[in-house]
Structures are given as structure tokens and as C-alpha cells.
Amino acid sequence: MQYDIITFGSATQDVFMSSRKLEVVEDEKFATKKGLCISLGSKMHMDDVLFAMGGCGANSAATFAKQGLKTAYYGMIGKDGFGEEVKKELKKHNVSLDLMQESDKFPTAFSVILSLPEVGRSILEKYGACHELTNKDIPFDELKADWFYIASLSSKSHEMFVPLIDFAKENNIKVASNPAGSIKTPEHTEILKSVLNKIDILILNQEESSKLTGIDFNKEKEIFQKLDEWVDGIVVMNKGARGVTVSDGKNLYSAGIPESGLVDRTGAGDSFGSAFVSGYIEKNDIAYAIQLGTANATSCLQKMGATNGLLKKGEWGPWEKVEVSKKRL
């Protein structure tokens, strides 16, 4: 089977639990200097609970399929109830399951998202089947596509990263990647650096691009200079509520976000990245890709769950399209 795009990355069952009773405690011992807390030994009432599919590979596949691309997800779920839910959800979004594997040995990956509405959330993550796949499992003969979207490959599954990119290059398949999982360890970061020149669209957030280049978070110009040196293709830097900056090596494109509320930010990166790539495939136009990515992320953030608010092809939601500025480098 020939696909427009195949996505790689995690597929999980997510459980969102939100409570206005959760407390933010400021303390230096937390990596972000703030903790989302519940008193030890106590019970806390939750205002809402929602089960939803998650995982960057599955989330991005949902966007591509909703944008009208013939999409397959390659990854692994467990033969369990959560795996059945993931399958149901992917099918609902019209994602092909023909490449997906099911494991007797490993359970479907699972996350609990603890959310304090309008303030923030923390994620409790349990690795599972999708994190156990390695390059030995990949059915290369069946990977026929115009594009690969390689999302975060964490833990053991990172072994697939270089073989997938090399295979894509040998077979004229374009590669878009949001390799957040590669920047978690110094070893994986070096592996990522060694293949950056083979990536057509590299998508990172501000913190990840700073870590990858070793350049301070705020020195955006220097970060792009370094990334443009390493990446022949397009570099996308997501900046949360401050929008996005994109370089194609010749011009720097920037946009903010539209005026909108927010319910839960889970899925922001996946919904932006996959809609950016959908827009780029459709029109070969970076400004248009930014507008579609931003609209899809904005819509995603209005609903609990990483795929509940995603836009269908032709839909833009009630928000103004963001203005994109273009500056010569």
C-alpha cells in the first residue's frame, strides 16, 4: 500500500484528571521551580475525568488523516483494553492500522495528565509497547510513502530513528521530524545531530532548540544560525503562547497566536507540527503552513484530550488566521 505519510512515535491511552483543588507550590527542588501538589496521605476530589487517545505518533496521524492525507501509523500497542481504545480512535480518524503491531508481551503505554484548569498540568508517564519497538521490528518493505513524520522516539524505540531516516533518504521519502525524545539524553542528542542534514522539516520547541545547539534560550538569532548550518531543510521553533518562528535558510517567518482561550495544552506540539507539515505538503508555502499549524493547535487547546479538537480539511475554526511576517536572513 502506498501512503501520503506514515507517522512514527508513541500511541498511548491518556487519562485526564482535573481538579481546582490541586495546588501550585513554588520550590527550588522542582525542575520548573513549581510543583502541582496534593497533600501526602490525603484524597482529592477530581472535577473531571476523561479517557482519550494520546501519544505523539498517534496524535499526529490523526491530524494528517483529518487533513485528507492517506495516513498510516507505525507503532505498537499491547493486546489489551487500552490498545483496543487506541485502535478504535485511530480508525475513527481514518488512520490505517495496517502497519501497526500488537504485542502479547508489553502493555499499551499509559499516561495520567493531572490538570489544574487555566493554570497548567503535569504528566505521569508509563512507557509501554510503543517504546519497545526497535529497528529489527520495522517492516521496511511495507513502508511506502511520500513522507515520514518521525515524532518523539523515546527509550528503546530511539534505535529506529537513524535506520528510518536512512531508509527514507535511500527511497526518496521526505522526512519531517519532531524529535523531542532525542533531546532527553546526551547520547541521543549526538545521534540526532548526525542526521540533521537529512531532515526536510525539523520541528522543535524553544527549550529543545536551545539544548540541541547549546545556545541560550533567548538568543533566537544565534540558535537559527546554528540550526540552518546543520539542517538543509526547514527549521520550525515553537514558542508556546508566543507563537512560532520558522527558517528555510533564506527567510525567517514569524507569527503569534490568535486571541483565544485555552482548556488544556496537551497535544499543542503534535497538533501544530502535523498541521504545519500537512499545510506545507498541500501548498509548498511556509506562511500557509504556519497558519494551518496555528489554527489546528488553537483548536486542539480548546478541548481536553490531544485529538479532540483537531480541525478537518477546509475548517479553520472561529479564529482569525495569524499574520505571518517574513524577513530576509
Minimum CB–partner distance for residue 205 and Mg ion (Å): 5
272 binds ligand ATP (CB under 6 A): yes
56 binds Mg ion (CB under 5 A): no
Q: 55, 269, 305, 309: which one contacts ligand ATP (CB under 6 A)?
A: 269
Q: 10, 213, 238, 254: which one contacts ligand ATP (CB under 6 A)?
A: 238
Binding site partner of 58, from ligand ATP, Mg ion, none, Cβ cut-off 5-8 A by kind: none
Binding site partner of 294, from ligand ATP, Mg ion, none, Cβ cut-off 5-8 A by kind: ligand ATP
Minimum CB–partner distance for residue 81 and ligand ATP (Å): 26
Minimum CB–partner distance for residue 255 and ligand ATP (Å): 8
Binding site partner of 10, from Mg ion, ligand ATP, none, Cβ cut-off 5-8 A by kind: none
Minimum CB–partner distance for residue 142 and ligand ATP (Å): 28
294 binds ligand ATP (CB under 6 A): yes
Q: Is 141 exposed, middle or buried (0-12, 13-18, 19+ CB in 10 A)?
A: exposed
57 binds Mg ion (CB under 5 A): no
Q: Which stretch binds Mg ion (CB under 5 A): 29-37, 190-198, 243-251, 266-274?
A: 266-274
* Binding region for ligand ATP (CB under 6 A): 205, 238-241, 243-244, 257, 262, 265, 267-269, 272, 294, 297-298, 301
